[in-house]
Amino acid sequence: MAGVRFKNVTKRYGKVLAVNGFSLDIADKEFLVLVGPSGSGKSTALRLLAGLEEINEGNIYIGDRLINNVPAKDRGIAMVFQSYALYPHMTVFQNMAFGLSLRKTPKDEIKTRVEKAADILDITELLKRKPRQLSGGQRQRVALGRAIVRKPDVFLLDEPLSNLDAKLRVQTRAGLSKLHQRLGTTFVYVTHDQVEAMTMATRIAVMDQGIIQQVGKPQELYNRPDNAFVAGFIGSPAMNFFEASVTNGPQGMKLDMDTFSVPVPKDRLSALNPFLKKKITFGMRPEHIHNREFLPPGCEADGDCITASPVKAKVEVTELMGNEIFLHLVAGDKSFLARVDPRTSAKPGQDIEVVFNMDNMHAFDPETGQAIHTQKEKGQGEGKEKVEKSIDLPS
């Protein structure tokens, strides 16, 4: 049982900065997901923690132990590889027992532990098989089992679901969450799939180009992304971005996108004031753009859900998902996606009117990509910082 602390960790491969000034506190028993696009340095960060790569700068602690120079085998970690990396010449039982037998664990204890893990993962009947006689999903569970029997302080998982088919992936996601609760151990999980991150993580760290972009609970990242990268990466379908001018008209402050404009809600006025007569990046999630005919409950009556200026847009493509419809829309030269009520009957080529729920607007500085937060949002951010600092780890 232990937390993990990365302190200003940097890893270079030649000129490539794979991990750059990486600082992250992971509390004991947390399910931390490191998410980011391919090549963002997630695996490298995990491998640094595992002891498979050497750190160039900075420190890593597991519990209160500095582990920079501790060999992988003495770090109290177990790792599940994307390829599962099962030993091909050993049976499932031997695969799971290997780590224990290296530690000279008594035979009967090895047997008990392997059988218990096999029971948890429902692979008891596979114990005598060789890896090549297993399906992808079974191999994946054996790889998990091999990690479980070691009773590590920290579990490291590098894209363990990416070789499974879509249906199995959804099942295994739930299985992993349950396993985490059952074991009560720290999980550090790497994935490029933000859905996996959102569904399993107790906390998410978003990475891009070797740098942590934001750390927070899934809901925090979704509601209050710190920058345009996180805003675009978290959430599916991805957030719409518009280049907008902030203008002041007779009805108050507006975001002007040439072909249409939307009013700025009252609580954003002061935050956006410094950007008056300048450009910002305006962000709107597809689920916050509604068909005018089917406004969600609460939106019609609520003054903040501004319906004063519905936007006319032409439907280009419709994607029926069952309980919702994705509309690919064009307004002038701006394309965007709306996720609307399934009763919407719009056909490609038709014009419809959509409403931007400005309560859920996002604004970013177009130069830095940083979010332009309101005072209230900033307050939440500071609150979050305090929570993180209160985690009891050595410095």
Partner 1 sequence: MPAFLFVTVFLIYPVIDTLRISFFNRNSTEFIGLDNYEYVFTNSTAQSALLNNVLWLVLFTVLAVGLGLLFAVLSGRVRYEAMAKAAVFIPMAISFVAAAVIWRFMYAYAPEGFTQIGLINAAGTGVGLEPIAWLVEHPLPYTDVTLPGPLHTNNFALVAVGVWMWTGFAMVILSAGLKGISTDILEAARVDGAGEWQIFRRIILPVLSPTIAVVATTLVIQALKKFDMVWVMTAGNFETDVVATLMFKQMFNFSDFGRAAALAVVLLAAILPIMLISIRRFRAQEET
Ligand X SMILES: Nc1ncnc2c1ncn2[C@@H]1O[C@H](COP(=O)(O)OP(=O)(O)O)[C@@H](O)[C@H]1O
- When the beta carbons of 43 and 138 are compared against ligand X, the nearer one is 43
Find which of partner 1, ligand X, Mg ion, none residue 73 binds, CB within 5 to 8 Å per kind. partner 1
Q: Quick one: tokens of 24?
A: 């992250």
| 88 burial type by CB count under 10 A (0-12 exposed, 13-18 middle, 19+ buried) | exposed
DSSP-based helix, strand, coil % in the chain, nearest 5:
35, 30, 35
Does position 18 interact with ligand X (CB under 6 A)? The reply is yes
Positions touching partner 1 (CB under 8 A) are 50-52, 72-73, 77-79, 81-83, 85-89, 98-99, 102-103, 132, 146, 150
Binding test (CB under 6 A) with ligand X, winner from 3, 36, 145, 218: 36
Distance (Å, whole) CA 141 – CA 135? 10
The answer to whether the CB of 361 falls within 8 A of the CB of 281 is no
Q: Using CB atoms, what's the residue nearest to ligand X?
A: 43
Does position 40 interact with Mg ion (CB under 5 A)? The reply is no
* String of contacts with Mg ion for each residue 41-70, x by CB under 5 A: --x---------------------------
Find which of ligand X, partner 1, Mg ion, none residue 69 binds, CB within 5 to 8 Å per kind. none
How many residues are present in the chain? 395
Q: What backbone phi and psi angles, to 5 degrees, belong to 360?
A: -105, 25
Site for Mg ion in 86-145 (CB under 5 A): none
Does position 194 interact with Mg ion (CB under 5 A)? The reply is no
Residue 266 CB-half CA count within 13 A = 3
Residue range at the interface with Mg ion (CB under 5 A); choices 35-43, 101-109, 357-365, 373-381: 35-43
Does position 39 interact with ligand X (CB under 6 A)? The reply is yes
Q: Coil, strand or helix: which one is 127?
A: coil
DSSP string covering 158-174, please? ESTTTTS-HHHHHHHHH
Q: Quick one: tokens of 211?
A: 């740098």
- When the beta carbons of 32 and 126 are compared against Mg ion, the nearer one is 32
Number of residues lying near ligand X (CB under 6 A): 11
Distance (Å, whole) CA 272 – CA 25? 33
> Under the rule (CB under 5 A), what is the footprint of Mg ion?
43
Contacting positions for ligand X (CB under 6 A): 13, 16, 18, 36, 38-44
